[in-house]
Amino acid sequence: MYRISAALASLAVAGLAASASAQSFAVVPEAQATERGNGGLNTLTRGDGFPRTYQQQFTEGELAAQGLMPGMTITGVTWRASITTSNDPTWPPPGGAIWSDYQITLAEAANPITNLSSTFADNMLNPVMVRSGELTIPEGAFASPNPAAPEPNPWGFEITFTPYTYQGGDLVILYSHPGSNLPGHIFLDRVASNDAWGRAISASEFLATSGGGPTASFTINRLTFEAAGPTCPPDLNGDGVVDADDFFLFLTLFAAGDPRADFNNDGVIDADDFFAFLNAFAQGC
């Protein structure tokens, strides 16, 4: 039987128990992660009861460069306010912005980015609607404090949705909403579309299947993603989170000589496996 001293175990737990499945971000385009765009677009935050439908396609290379690989899950999206004098310092106003049905669909790309169809559905393979229903963005979620600042505004409210497993290749996101309850909107940071990383199509029809057209305005997105549980070795219990439960499960397996404790796969359960697990645990997934 293998034993680890209580002091060593306690030290490891104290330093590592807070580790969780690593949450990462992919900003498209990547160059705008720390640099502001060159204009504003209100399509995704439009008020006045004006419906909008907006589709974006992100290239595989742009996503892979930031660590988003097939099998990983995308769990949310965030935008930020454009630096423009027409934006309020904070938005939405008291009471927030409310859309009665804000829908987001993710899909594999059906067409190369240089040959997108003006029919939204024709650009998507195996579409999955990851959110629908009422959306409320709370008061002051988007800050635009200094239009003269050289750096971009902070990221605003994150819209979370049902985790979507990225299948590889180009990624398509379709947004549809009927316009919010507000008489106004905020302009989101945007850049011009570029074949190297993304293009966009827009239309004013709610849930339109056609009638859109290519647009030069591409809203800057920050996608939240994380590794899927089965591809994360220190997630021993497979619950999608690397935490104290996995640590204590490893200790149990290690003490029992369970083959699952052979973490370095050398056929022997020894101190090398313990430290290999600690290292993977500390890094998370």
Judged against a pLDDT cut of 50, whether residue 272 lies above it is answered with: yes
Residue 22 confidence class, pLDDT cut points 50, 70, 90 = low
Q: Name the strand (E) or helix (H) holding 58.
A: strand 52-58
Q: Name the strand (E) or helix (H) holding 245.
A: helix 244-256
pLDDT tens-digit profile of 164-221? 999 999 999 999 999 999 999 999 999 998 888 898 888 765 444 455 666 668 999 9
Q: Which residues contact 92 (CB under 8 A, 6 or more apart)?
A: 137, 138, 139, 140, 141, 142, 182, 186
What is the reported pLDDT for 211? Answer: 55
| Strand arrangement of the beta sheet that strand 73-80 belongs to | 23-28, 221-226, 73-80, 155-165
What is the reported pLDDT for 155? Answer: 96
What is the reported pLDDT for 262? Answer: 84
For 119-142, give one letter per residue: b (16+ CB within 10 A) or e. Answer: ebeebbeebeebbeeebbbeebbb
Q: Choose among 101, 94, 93, 162: nearest CA to 130.
A: 162
What is the reported pLDDT for 267? Answer: 76
Separation between Cα atoms, residue 188 and residue 11, nearest integer Å: 46
pLDDT tens-digit profile of 125-144? 999 999 999 999 999 999 98
pLDDT tens-digit profile of 71-122? 899 999 999 999 887 899 999 999 999 999 999 999 999 999 999 888 899 9
What is the reported pLDDT for 204? Answer: 62
> Is 215 strand, coil or helix?
strand
What is the reported pLDDT for 123? Answer: 94
Give me the sign of the Cα torsion angle 156, 182, 133, 58.
Answer: negative
Residue 19 confidence class, pLDDT cut points 50, 70, 90 = very low
Least confident of 8-17, 53-62, 247-256: 8-17
More confident residue, 9 or 136: 136
Judged against a pLDDT cut of 50, whether residue 50 lies above it is answered with: yes
What is the reported pLDDT for 235? Answer: 83
Least confident of 111-120, 147-156, 233-242: 233-242
Average pLDDT over the chain, rounded to an integer: 85
What is the reported pLDDT for 118? Answer: 85
Supply φ then ψ for residue 235, to 5 degrees.
-80, 75
Separation between Cα atoms, residue 24 and residue 108, nearest integer Å: 20
Residue 227 confidence class, pLDDT cut points 50, 70, 90 = low
More confident residue, 256 or 121: 121
